[in-house]
Amino acid sequence: MSDTPAPFAFVEAGVDAACRGALDRADALRDDPDALKARWPTSRVILLDEKGNAYADDQGRLFAATGRDISDGPGGVGASVFLGLDPHDIAWFALEGALTALDAPRRVDLRSAASLWPAFDASVFAQARALQHWRSRHRFCGVCGGEVALSRAGWQGKCVQCGAEHYPRTDPAVIVAVTDGSRLLLGRQAGWPARRYSVLAGFVEPGESLEQTVAREVLEESGVRVRRCRYLASQPWPFPGSLMLGFYAEAEPDAPQVGDELEEARWFTADEVRRARQRGEWGSTQDDGEGPVLSPSISISRWLIEQWLAGQGA
């Protein structure tokens, strides 16, 4: 397997950057409202609409106003979520655009941003969007039904009725390149664009390890038995709040048999995968409209496929 740096969305490329986030989350500042208020005027604020799209300029680039610009409307540091500090020690916040008097020429969805924006901008957007989704769906306590009040700069909810605490959640999921030694197992869901194939994936269930999840999900989705697996890399996947944990697995050369989750699963040779790669992404000018195409380059699934190909001498 190759040691090529991960080139998928929301993760900065480069071996020395693999453990570094776009922002320093600066957890201690979440409990210091005075410090956040002092940083607010010079901060950068990413504005989101009710659908989770980011405000963008007329070129489709991130529109991040300063806190000082947000002078009208009920929005402000108290209504925002503190995201962290950038390498220049500038604070970044996220705020519902409807709470401000500001507007911007365009709105950009997260998938488009992942493809078009610099890694830093897309990563900040991903963090803001995931937190917005959590906040919008956890306004009431799951224990007693009471109203949830937010604290810690938007990172903690506390029920005003029973006192239960609530925190942002991330759902772990495995995504795995399965090989029988010479072939790669790929599948497709019925709702995907025609001819698109990807590696298999599934959510971790309570009480199982990641390795057990790999074996179970591959067996459930394709009927293929995994012998062993190992972890390679991870990708935040805020659609709306998952973490994709990438694995490489060796499996028996079983004939794939799909159930309800996949429309099709099949083994592909290295030559078939190379030809699929040459077609580019679905709908691209390189696509001849004839054979399989691979998952988009923004996803760790495509990176896992490329890693397997590299091991085949591609």
pLDDT tens digits for range 4-46 = 455 799 988 776 666 788 999 999 999 999 999 999 999 999 9
SS3 96: strand
Write down the pLDDT at residue 78: 82
Kindly report whether the peptide bond that precedes residue 240 is cis, defined as omega within 30 degrees of 0.
Answer: yes
Dihedrals φ, ψ of 300, to 5°?
-65, -25
* Amino acid occupying residue 187: G
Q: How far apart are CA 146 and CA 162, in angstroms?
A: 7
Q: How far apart are CA 236 and CA 170, in angstroms?
A: 9
The predicted-structure confidence for 46-82, as pLDDT tens digits, reads as follows 999 999 999 999 999 999 999 999 976 666 778 999 9
Q: How far apart are CA 187 and CA 174, in angstroms?
A: 15
Q: Which residue is listed with tokens 């957890």? A: 27
- Tell me whether strands 196-197 and 293-294 are parallel, antiparallel or unpaired: parallel
Q: How far apart are CA 156 and CA 166, in angstroms?
A: 6
The predicted-structure confidence for 224-281, as pLDDT tens digits, reads as follows 999 999 999 999 999 999 999 999 999 999 999 998 989 999 999 999 999 999 887 7
Residue 2 has pLDDT above 60, yes or no: no
